[in-house]
Amino acid sequence: MSKKLSQPQEIVIVTGASTGMGAATAREMARRGFHVLAGVRRDSDGEALLAAGVEPVILDITDQDHIAALVARVHGDPKQRAVRALVNNAGIPGAGPVEVVPIDAWRRLFEVNVFGTVALTQALLPALVRSKGRVVNISSLNGKVSMAGYGAYASSKFAVEALSDALRNELAPYGVQVVVVEPGGVKTEMARLGLASLSDLSARMTPEQNARYGALTQAIPSHVAAFTKAGVTADTAARKIAKAVTDRKPRTRYTIGAMATFLIRVSRFLPDRVLDRMTTSDLRKHYPDQVKYGRATAGHHA
């Protein structure tokens, strides 16, 4: 059973709370009685959260001034509330073949998904150690299973998994627990936003690259849409994240959604080549018909 609110009221910090899973998590934690500091990018993003009893704070996790302001807010809390948890949810998506995703896009993914997460965690760890709080890092199914077309994003989430393992062992002697949450498909806008640059990426591919990856880049939007449609709602995901925050003896990892649970489980014991065939077969269902049914090569489509 999840441990509910302890007294006195504690602070939970949720990053990336402008919309989707982060906003739903902020509302869920407030509903459970925590004082939630919700990181948003714009004042307008925070207006809807105010009605749910959430305190929005302007936070770009790649901005050191924003991080410093949040730390000052925590340390100067007028009620001297302890920090129960930091939920590192902020992140950006990305898609495209490894060869053609620009190196600057790779850097941006890591800057937000990895380095921003590390920077904020470093800044708040003194408070978390004092309160014996908890770090909850939102990873992804792609943090355990990487597949064609998702290499850049998956690489950043594999890094989140690795830093979480190290942090868990480093902080265990001091009573700070580190938990990873691995969502599969979640019905939010994030997936759609991650595809925004894919058409531009396709347009900039050389003829040789198009021959290699043309069908793949056409398949990704359909694959993402199907995966998202089959996923859980943001509110369902938020309840699982809340368990990661409040369970008295949390697991080291929680998965969200049946597909994530299945794929992560089988990835532990299936040979790499078998897992490759599974993920490739799933992707090929979304290839253009003339490629899917073998009437043309991957680079020649109508």
Rounded CA-CA distance 262/237 in Å is 16
> What is the full per-residue pLDDT of the chain (302 aa) written as tens digits?
444 444 568 999 999 999 999 999 999 999 999 999 999 999 999 999 999 999 999 999 999 999 999 999 999 999 999 999 999 999 999 999 999 999 999 999 999 999 999 999 999 999 999 999 999 999 999 999 999 999 999 999 999 999 999 999 999 999 999 999 999 888 776 656 656 778 788 889 999 999 999 999 999 988 888 888 888 899 999 999 999 999 999 999 999 988 888 899 999 999 999 999 999 999 999 998 755 555 444 443 32
For residue 194, what pLDDT is reported?
59
Amino acid at 294: G
Domains observed in the chain:
11-292 (3.40.50.720)
pTM for the model stands at 0.90
For residue 187, what pLDDT is reported?
72
Which residues are known to be catalytic?
153
For residue 3, what pLDDT is reported?
45
Closest CA to 163 of 57, 229, 242, 88: 88
Closest CA to 84 of 176, 181, 180, 179: 176
Rounded CA-CA distance 298/290 in Å is 9
For residue 201, what pLDDT is reported?
87
Q: What sign results for the dihedral spanned by CA atoms 34, 35, 37, 42?
A: positive
Give me 15's structure tokens: 């990053």
Report helix angle 234-246 to 20-31, nearest 10: 50
Give me 218's structure tokens: 């056409």
Give me 102's structure tokens: 């620009």
> Is the bond preceding residue 8 a cis peptide, omega within 30 degrees?
yes
206-212 contacts at long range (C-beta below 8 A, 24 or more positions apart) = 207/299, 209/97, 209/99, 209/100, 210/299, 211/297, 211/298, 211/299, 211/300, 212/97, 212/99, 212/298, 212/299
Give me 250's structure tokens: 């949390």
Looking at the DSSP assignment, which residues form a beta bridge with residue 83?
11
Q: In which element (H, E) is residue 37 found?
A: strand 35-40
